[in-house]
Every structure is written in structure tokens, then in C-alpha cells.
């Protein structure tokens, strides 16, 4: 296993919510959640982030070596994002649900497909499950 895989705050998946200037991030350690970048992008001094006020440009974000990155080089510190997401109280319930689902998967109660869908918020089944626990 490489050292990169052991770093908990590495971003492994990202989903932009362009009209709100938010990113839904999934980290290497299983934490996931949203960070709001609207103040950074729309604030009085956005600097290099000013061009991301265009929702299409904001939506072009991708993961580069564990870091949220845009095509013109703007980057968000993944460790700071992880600290923000992992310190929220609402994540206690979400992570407890994840641990229950993981245990169900290990015991064979939850299929590989269902477990994968549960862990990918872009999938409709996860959205249905999340509605019941939010």
C-alpha cells in the first residue's frame, strides 16, 4: 500500500454543486460531506478563484492526486476541507450509518452492488436511503 492511500484527507471522489458553489467530497478514510466555497468565489477578493463564479467553470473540478483542482490550476486544500467536513456533528449519524452498512456488507446481508450504490451519493438508491436518515 502506498503512503498516499494512508492519508485520510485525500479526496477520492468529487461532485460539484455548481449553482451553490459547493463541493461534495468523499475522502480516503470514508468521510464525505459538502464544503461551501461561495464566500471564497463571490467574496470581495476572490483572486484566482474569480473565474469560478461561472457555474460551468466551477463544475469542471476534478481530483488530481487527492486534491480538488480546476483546469486553470486553482486548488482547494484537501486537509482543510477534510477538517471542516469531519468536525461537523451531522456526520456522526452519517458515519454510524456507513459503519452499519459496512458491517451488513461484510456479513453478506448487503450485496456488493447495494453497498457500492449506498457509498455513491450520485446514485438514486443512496438518495432514497439518505432521505430516511437526514
Q: Domain 3-86 sits in which CATH superfamily?
A: NE0471-like N-terminal domain (3.30.2020.10)
Q: Tens of pLDDT along 65-109? A: 999 999 999 999 999 999 888 877 665 666 667 767 777 777 877
* Selection from 4, 23, 30 nearest residue 61 by Cα: 23
Domain positions in the chain: 3-86, 90-133
pTM of the full structure: 0.64
pLDDT above 60 for 121: no
For 87, which DSSP code? T
Quickly state the pLDDT bin for 128 (edges 50, 70, 90): very low
Helix axis angle, 124-133 to 90-106, nearest 10°: 120
For residue 43, the cross-strand partners are none
Amino acid at each position: 500500500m502506498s503512503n498516499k492511500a494512508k492519508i485520510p484527507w485525500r479526496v477520492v471522489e468529487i461532485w460539484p454543486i455548481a449553482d451553490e458553489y459547493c463541493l461534495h467530497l468523499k475522502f480516503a478514510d470514508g468521510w464525505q460531506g459538502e464544503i461551501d466555497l461561495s464566500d471564497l468565489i463571490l467574496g470581495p477578493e476572490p483572486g484566482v478563484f474569480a473565474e469560478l463564479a461561472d457555474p460551468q467553470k466551477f463544475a469542471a473540478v476534478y481530483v488530481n492526486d487527492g486534491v480538488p483542482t480546476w483546469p486553470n490550476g486553482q486548488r482547494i486544500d484537501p486537509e482543510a476541507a477534510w477538517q471542516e467536513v469531519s468536525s461537523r456533528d451531522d456526520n456522526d449519524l452519517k458515519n454510524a450509518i456507513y459503519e452499519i452498512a459496512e458491517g451488513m456488507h461484510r456479513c453478506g446481508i448487503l450485496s456488493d452492488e447495494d453497498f457500492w450504490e449506498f457509498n455513491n451519493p450520485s446514485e438514486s438508491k443512496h438518495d432514497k436511503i439518505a432521505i430516511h436518515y437526514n
